Amino acid sequence: MFIIARGIEFGDDKTQKWLISILSGFFSSIFLTQPLKIIGLTIFFAFCCQNSYDDKEANEYLDNNQLALDNDEEYLHSFKKKSIFTYRQPIRVDRLNETEINHARNERLKEIHMWSMIKELLLYLCFITVLYIIIYSNRDLNSFLQITTIDDYWNWLENNFITNIRAQQWYNNDPPRNLSGFINDKSNRLIGWATMRQLRVKSTLCQVQNEIISTCQYDYNFYNEDKYSYKPGWKNSITQNYSSAISQSFQYSTSQDLDTYSYIGEHGTYSGNGYVYEFRGRLVDLQSNLSLLHQLEWINNQTRAIIIQLTLYNPNVQLFTSV
């Protein structure tokens, strides 16, 4: 169709010349131009890219000028005329002895081991990189690291922490059957119950020019630690009745009672004493108690440290963990 269209457009004479030009160029390229190119490239690579047959490593031990035959050997092709009076001094070729062979073998084994360690290290670094990317690209908005105020801490407790110390529904909304006592990762079982312990400083009076002007709160130390027991709301007396868990959280306990130890933190060393709330009971009761503690200002400006402690057991690896 293309040739017919061109023939109608240009006429028979021009079309025939055009066809002859195309066919002659096509066949001349196949039978003349391309073969000449191939032959030229072959000659070029044959002369310019020859492989050297000289073995440099072998030449260190072999000297062509000193190669000689034993008395019972002769060259296969000899151009010199043999003579019965010719005596050839036997010269041995220098070869690697057993010590040199063992040394070369040990060096090669060390090199193989070194590259194996480098490969393993690179794979480990790739694994760590991928792991960090996965972890830090899926950070929770209620993450503990983003807490800056007391309200942020309560928000984290009520919306993030409390829901994760009990096994919740699966990804397909199936109930967590046979997972009583497990936390939300469904792999670790909670041993006993989690506790939240706070350390406080007592309110002391500051005197300036013999006048009482304000109430001061100092940094925490063993001498400024508040060791008094209070009623809910940090009061000395109340008219409303509260549950035992709420009332107990305002009672001071010693490290001997709690079986706890001192903790060295970023801003100081904290004793094993304090006011403790125990996360015991149903999830609904825990959420209600946290909301009530928030209203009673269990954490306020006298609080200097909050320590949450729990013990976990992973039955898959049979490992106990204290957090």
pLDDT for 2-31, tens place per residue? Answer: 555 556 666 677 777 777 888 888 788 788
> pLDDT confidence of 120, banded at 50, 70, 90?
very high
Are 176 and 305 in a shared domain?
yes
SS3 of the chain: helix, strand, coil, percent, to 5: 40, 15, 45
Residue 178 lies in a domain: yes
Burial of 155 (0-12, 13-18, 19+ CB in 10 A): middle
Backbone φ and ψ for 76, nearest 5 degrees, come out as -70, -40
Together in a domain, 172 and 23: no
Range name among 128-132, 140-144, 163-167, 284-288 with the lowest pLDDT average: 140-144
The tokens of 300 are what? 């306020």
What pLDDT, on the 0 to 100 scale, is given for residue 56?
A: 55
Please tell me whether residues 162 and 283 are part of one structural domain: yes
CA pair distance 255, 261, nearest whole angstrom: 7
Could you tell me the residue range of the domain that residue 22 belongs to? 2-48
Residue 64 falls within a domain, yes or no? no
> Do 161 and 298 belong together in one domain?
yes
Task: Give the side-chain half-sphere CA count within 13 A for 243.
Answer: 13
pTM over 0.85: no
Q: How many CB atoms lie within 10 A of CB 199?
A: 22
Structural domain ending residue among the three candidates 32, 48, 64: 48
33 and 148 both lie in a single domain: no
- The answer to whether position 160 is within a domain reads yes
Query: Rounded mean pLDDT of 113-131?
Result: 91
Residues 252-311 pLDDT 10s: 988 888 888 888 887 788 888 889 998 888 888 888 888 999 989 898 888 888 888 888
**Mean pLDDT over the full length of the chain:** 78
Q: In a 10 Å sphere around its CB, with 0-12 CB exposed, 13-18 middle and 19+ buried, how is residue 298 labelled?
A: buried
Residue 56 falls inside a structural domain? no
pLDDT band at residue 72 under the 50/70/90 scheme: low
Q: What are phi and psi of 77, to 5 degrees?
A: -125, 110
Number of separate domains in the chain: 2
311, β-bridge pairs: 191, 322
Inside any domain, residue 115: no
Both ends of the chain: CA-CA distance in Å? 83
Whether residue 161 is found in the same domain as residue 303:
yes
| pLDDT above 70 as % of the chain | 75
Q: Is residue 218 part of a domain?
A: yes
* Residue 134 within a domain: no
Task: Summarize the confidence of residues 165-188 as an average pLDDT.
Answer: 83
Is the domain of 170 the same as that of 300?
yes
- Rounded CA-CA distance 113/103 in Å is 15
In a domain, 135, yes or no: no
Mean pLDDT within 214-218: 57
Amino acid, single-letter form, for residue 303: T
